[in-house]
């Protein structure tokens, strides 16, 4: 196998189907209703479930009600593209055989570091000859000593982490920040804050505090339902002003808050979404099939229009032609980039 530098790049978001978490964030996107608006058939019953669950006194009961009520909806999906250790490692190993310089984000709906197999796959991937970057996502709920043990055997020069700051779940915020500072010394780290309505008033202060410690921070708009309102559409004008001040980039704001139509996109060209069965899709937001990792897949020769109206996934919306013309990546981390000095045609 050639070294990674000689090969054309291929960026992948690998949807593992691992959805178990050690945190129980009330706003977690994994437990948000399926459906775009209150008029879609799937959204209405879930909205009413959320409303009745919200009457319960305990946050845990609300969470359990929300998860349990979604099980019939998820059942079919779980059987076909749900988490499976053997399939996961098969896809990881298959990445090593591809004639590309691989930049893989291992996507989870739960927590990465509570699953030894997810971690072992990431470790293997970081050591493949053709790997350029491995991007992981985590709630950073372990101690630095535990991370030191977990990171053993990784090629840390290829590892990047996006860690979510979930203040409703973190027991000791000072210690969490200390851990983030320590992890940032050994791994390319970015922190993400979710602009859930109850967290809005504290958002700017949290961001400043983390940045003052030398951490790179970006804000993700809340996507889901809160008090019967769908977000991000229901942010008030005041909320929008506050968000515009704390967002990482105009790009993030336009796509995550304003739900801008993405236009032409490199998804399917040098970026694909891969599921646990190895099926290859143009992206994970709108599933256009491109083959299978084990049996062969094809790539598009040039960017094509986004088939949908919005793309708020922070991994995927970086593939728009407009993003690539306006911004350039500054590290292996999927969420570190800066404006180009002049707008270029990539």
Ligand X SMILES: C[S@@+](CC[C@H](N)C(=O)[O-])C[C@H]1O[C@@H](n2cnc3c(N)ncnc32)[C@H](O)[C@@H]1O
| 216 is an interface residue for ligand X by CB under 6 A | no
Q: Cα 102 to the chain's mean position, in Å? A: 17
Q: Choose the one of ligand SF4, ligand X, none that binds residue 252, judging by a C-beta under 5 to 8 angstroms depending on kind.
A: none
- Residue of 239, 262, 269, 297 that binds ligand SF4 (CB under 6 A): 262
Q: Which residues contact 322 (CB under 8 A, 6 or more apart)?
A: 251, 262, 263, 264
Neighbours of 289 (CB within 10 A): 11
State whether residue 180 is helix, strand or coil.
helix
- Residue of 138, 179, 285, 319 that binds ligand X (CB under 6 A): 138
Residues 305-334: x/- map of binding to ligand SF4 (CB under 6 A)?
A: -x-x--x----xx-xx--------------
Asked whether 290 and 299 are in contact (CB, 8 A), the reply is yes
Q: Choose the one of ligand X, ligand SF4, none that binds residue 292, judging by a C-beta under 5 to 8 angstroms depending on kind.
A: none
**Tokens 């504290």 found at:** 202
Asked whether 125 and 104 are in contact (CB, 8 A), the reply is yes
Asked whether 271 and 104 are in contact (CB, 8 A), the reply is no
Residues 272-301: x/- map of binding to ligand SF4 (CB under 6 A)?
A: -----------x-xx---------------
Between β-strands 289-292 and 279-281, what pairing exists: parallel, antiparallel or unpaired? antiparallel
Closest CB to ligand X among residues 154, 218: 218
State in angstroms the smallest separation of the CB of 238 from ligand X.
20
Asked whether 162 and 135 are in contact (CB, 8 A), the reply is yes
State in angstroms the smallest separation of the CB of 19 from ligand X.
8
| 28 is an interface residue for ligand X by CB under 6 A | yes
Report the alpha-carbon distance of residue 239 to residue 74 in Å, rounded: 33
State in angstroms the smallest separation of the CB of 271 from ligand SF4.
7
Closest CB to ligand X among residues 164, 319: 164
- Residue of 222, 273, 297, 337 that binds ligand X (CB under 6 A): 222
| 220 is an interface residue for ligand X by CB under 6 A | yes
State in angstroms the smallest separation of the CB of 209 from ligand X.
17
- Residue 216, CA atoms < 13 Å, CB-side half-sphere: 19
Asked whether 115 and 20 are in contact (CB, 8 A), the reply is yes
- The full 3-state SS of 253-268, as one line of letters, equals HHHHHCCCCCCEECEC
- The binding site for ligand X (CB under 6 A) comprises 21, 27-30, 32, 108-111, 137-139, 164, 192, 194, 220, 222-224
- The binding site for ligand SF4 (CB under 6 A) comprises 262, 265, 267, 283, 285-286, 306, 308, 311, 316-317, 319-320
């Amino acid at each position: 196998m050639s070294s990674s530098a000689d090969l054309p790049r291929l960026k992948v978001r690998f949807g593992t189907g691992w959805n178990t978490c050690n945190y129980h964030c009330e706003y977690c996107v994994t437990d948000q209703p399926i459906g775009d608006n209150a008029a879609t058939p799937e959204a209405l019953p879930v909205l009413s479930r959320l409303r009745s669950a919200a009457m319960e006194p305990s946050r845990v009961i609300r969470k359990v009600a929300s998860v349990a009520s979604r099980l019939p909806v998820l059942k079919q999906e779980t059987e076909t593209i749900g988490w499976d250790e053997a399939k996961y490692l098969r896809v990881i190993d298959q990445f090593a055989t591809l004639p590309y310089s691989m930049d893989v984000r291992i996507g989870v709906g739960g927590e990465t570091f509570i699953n030894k197999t997810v971690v072992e796959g990431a470790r293997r991937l970081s050591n493949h000859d053709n790997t350029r970057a491995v991007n992981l996502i985590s709630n950073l709920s372990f101690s630095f000593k535990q991370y030191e043990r977990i990171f053993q055997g990784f090629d840390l020069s290829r590892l990047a982490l996006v860690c979510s700051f979930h203040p409703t779940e973190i027991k000791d915020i000072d210690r969490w920040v200390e851990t983030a500072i320590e992890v940032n010394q050994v791994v390319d780290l970015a922190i993400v804050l979710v602009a859930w309505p109850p967290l809005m008033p504290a958002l700017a202060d949290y961001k400043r505090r983390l940045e003052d410690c030398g951490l790179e921070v970006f804000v993700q708009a809340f996507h889901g339902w809160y008090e019967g309102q769908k977000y991000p559409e229901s942010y008030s004008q005041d909320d929008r002003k506050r968000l515009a001040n704390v967002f990482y980039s105009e790009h993030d704001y336009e796509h995550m808050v304003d739900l801008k139509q993405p236009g032409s996109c490199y998804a399917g060209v040098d970026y694909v979404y891969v599921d646990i069965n190895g099926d290859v899709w143009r992206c994970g937001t709108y599933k256009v099939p491109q083959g299978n990792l084990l049996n062969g897949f094809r790539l598009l020769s040039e960017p094509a229009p986004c088939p949908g109206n919005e793309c708020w996934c922070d991994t995927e919306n970086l593939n728009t032609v407009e993003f690539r013309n306006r911004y350039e990546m500054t590290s292996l981390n999927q969420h570190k980039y800066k404006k180009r000095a002049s707008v270029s045609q990539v």
